Chain A
C-alpha cells in the first residue's frame, strides 16, 4: 500500500522518488539488453548462407521418360511422371514427417515406408498426388516444370503449382 501511495505522488507535479527512478532505469535497461540478446541469438543461430543443393533440377531429356511411366529421382526427391496428358513433377518427400516415399508399380500408388501414408497417381477420380490414406496432412505437391533452351526437362522444387497443369512434351 505504501508503494502505491508513493507512485501516486510520483505523478507529474508530485515529488520525484530518486530510488524508484533508478530502479526503473535499471530494470528498463536490463529488459532492453535482454531483448537485444534474444534478437542477437536468433540472428546468430539462423545461417545467412546455406550450402544446400539448388531447388532447380535438370531431369534430362524428356524422351528418356516413356509414356505412362513414374520415375523417382532419389537425390532430388521428386517423381517425374509422363502421363498421357503430358509431363509433371511430384514432390517425393512425404508431407507427414519428411520421409522419402516410394512408387509401388504393382499397386499403382505412392506409399511412405515410415508411417504408411498413401498417395494417388491414377486412382479413380483422384488427382495425382492426392492423399489416399495415412497420417499425411496434405497431398504431395506439384512442382513447376519447363523445357530449357537445350530441350532438357527442368523442375523447380521451390515453386509449387496447382495440380493438373501438365507440361506437353
Chain B
C-alpha cells in the first residue's frame, strides 16, 4: 500500500509541470536528495546534510524551530486580526471587544495570538539559555549569537508595540511608562520620545505608529534577521561544529585550573 502511494508520488514528480517547478526529479540518491534541498528557495538556507544525532530532540530541544513555529502562528493570526481592527482612538477598544464577543472565532484567534506571543518570548529565552549553556555561541558562531540578540530585541519590541493596540487602561499606562523610559536617553531622550509617540502624549499618533511598527516594520525586520540566522547555521558549520568545542588540551588545562 505504502509503495503504491510512493509510486503515485513518483509519477507526479515526473510530470512536466512538477519538473518545471522542482528540477531535482525523482530518485533518492544522495545527489537527488541534496538537490531537493539546494534548489528550494526556502530550504537552500539550510545544510543539505545533517548528522542524525543533531536532529534528535536532546541536541537542541527543538527550541529554535518551536520559536519559528510560534512566529508563524503570530503572523497568520495577526493578519486575520487586522481584518477587524481599526488603529484609531474611537474604534480600537471597541474593535478589541468585538473580536472577543462578536466576531466568529475572534476570541480564539486573539487568545491564540496572545498566548503565542507569550510562548515566543519564553522560547526565545529558553533557546538562548540552551545555546549559552551548550557553548554553541563559541567561534565560529559569534556572529550568529549577535543576530540572535537582535532577534531577541525585535521579539521584545513586537510584544511592546502590540501591548498598546487594545487601547485599554493597561495598554495606555504601560506605553506611557515605557515610552518615558526612552526619555532617559542622554541628550536625545526627549526627541526619541517625541518621534516614537508622534507627539507629547500617548494619543492617536502613538496608536497609529505602534500599529505600523507592530504590523509592518518589526515583522519585516524579524523575517529578514531570521533568514540570516538560519543561513548562518549552514555557513558556520551546521548544527554541530567540532571546531567550537574546546580541545582536549584546553579541557585538561581548565580542569587543572579548577583544582
Contacts and interface: CB of A to CB of B under 8 A. Distances in A.
Interface of A: 42, 45-47, 50-52, 96-99, 114
A97 B199 contact: no
B180 A97 contact: yes
A131 to B, nearest CB: 17
A114 B181 CA distance: 13
Contacts of B173: 99, 114
B202 to A, nearest CB: 9
A50 B199 contact: yes
A9 to B, nearest CB: 39
Contacts of B177: 97-99, 114
Nearest to A100: B173
Contacts of A47: 198-199, 205
B194 A46 contact: yes
7 contacts: A50-B200, A51-B204, A52-B201, A97-B177, A97-B180, A98-B177, A99-B173
Contacts of B191: 46
Interface string B138-173: 000000000000000000000000000000000001
Given A46-B195, A47-B198, A51-B204, 11 more contacts: A46-B194, A50-B205, A52-B199, A52-B200, A52-B201, A97-B177, A97-B180, A97-B181, A98-B176, A98-B179, A99-B173
Interface string B194-227: 1100111101110000000000000000000000
Interface of A is mostly: loop
A30 B100 CA distance: 51
A50 B181 CA distance: 22
Nearest to B193: A98
Interface of B: 173, 176-177, 179-181, 191, 194-195, 198-201, 203-205
A114 B204 CA distance: 23
Contacts of A98: 176-177, 179-180
A114 to B, nearest CB: 6
A46 B195 CA distance: 6
Nearest to B195: A45
A52 B176 contact: no
B25 to A, nearest CB: 46
A169 B201 CA distance: 32
10 closest A-B pairs by CB: A97-B180, A98-B180, A97-B177, A98-B176, A45-B195, A50-B199, A47-B198, A52-B201, A46-B195, A52-B199
Nearest to A44: B195
A69 B194 CA distance: 35
A114 B172 CA distance: 13
A98 B177 CA distance: 6
Nearest to B205: A47
A99 B169 CA distance: 12
Contacts of B195: 42, 45-46
Contacts of A46: 191, 194-195
